[in-house]
Amino acid sequence: MKTRNDRVERLKKQARRLMLAGDVTRYMNKLRELYETRSASGGLTIA
């Protein structure tokens, strides 16, 4: 079973790859998904 931290790390890695590839639309969607995951856990910081 994947923990929430594993999911956050996976999303950060995917977002970084999309940013470097220049895919802005998918990058922004991934950041939203990352924010929603973090806010659901009670942590609002994005690092």
Domain membership flag for residue 45: no
CB 47 within 8 A of CB 39: no
Residue 1 pLDDT > 60, yes or no? Answer: no
Residue 43 pLDDT > 70, yes or no? Answer: no
Domain membership flag for residue 20: yes
Give me the number of domains the chain comprises.
1
Res. 25 pLDDT band, cuts 50 70 90: very high
Average the pLDDT over 27-34 and give the result.
94
Domain membership flag for residue 47: no
Domain membership flag for residue 29: yes
pLDDT for position 37: 85
Domain membership flag for residue 30: yes
Domain carrying residue 26: 4-40
Exposure of 46 by Cβ count < 10 A (0-12 exposed, 13-18 middle, 19+ buried)?
exposed
